[in-house]
Amino acid sequence: PTSQAPARSDGFTDIGSVADLAESGSLRYQDAKGNGILVVQQSDTPEDVQAFSSVCTHQGCNVSWKAKDKDIFCACHGSRFATDGKVTEGPAETPLQQYLTKVEDNRILIKM
Ligand code: FES
């Protein structure tokens, strides 16, 4: 889903429900400039939500969440990123950009 919700007065944007994320394991979103955002749930705790730029820092392919391995994977050249955005396997060298997230009333809020 890439529906656009306006940012709230505190700068956070509501991008979906915790239930949606729990069901699919990850969500994709686009900010107002069209930048891809990958939202993942890294543990069974519903509030344990992280959001990253979905643009691989190697050459810009779209990264994906691997729920089984709990890491973020780029299919283009095999880079992997941990759930803090850090590179765990190259060729990428730069961490994924991470967005500030919080959960309120079962809604996922991201600051973009
Ligand atoms: Fe992601 Fe090369 S673009 S590993």
* 65-109 pLDDT tens trace: 998 888 999 999 999 999 999 999 999 999 999 999 999 999 999
**Which of 38, 63, 77, 89 for mutating ligand 1's site (highest number of atoms within 8 Å of CB)?**
77
24-34 pLDDT, tens digit each: 889 999 988 88
Answer yes or no: is the C-beta of 102 below 6 A from any ligand 1 atom. Answer: no
Q: Measuring CA to CA, which residue among 108, 111, 109, 110 is closest to residue 46?
A: 108
Question: How much is the mean pLDDT over the chain?
Answer: 90
**Position in ligand 1 atom list of the atom nearest CA 61:** 3
pLDDT of residue 10: 86
How is domain 12-111 classified at the CATH fold level?
Answer: Rieske Iron-sulfur Protein (2.102.10)
- Residue 59, ligand 1, Cβ within 6 A: yes
Q: Residue range 15-38: average pLDDT?
A: 89
Give domain limits for the chain.
12-111
Give pLDDT, residue 5.
66
pLDDT > 90 in the chain, percent: 65
Q: Say whether pLDDT at 2 is over 80.
A: no
State the pLDDT at residue 45.
80
- pLDDT tops 80 at residue 7: no
- Spatial CA neighbour of 92 closest among 111, 71, 67, 74: 74
The CA 72 to ligand 1 mean position distance, Å, reads 12
Q: Coil, helix or strand for 18? A: helix
Ligand 1 close to Cβ of residue 58 (< 6 A): yes
Nearest C-alpha neighbor of 101 from the set 37, 19, 6: 37
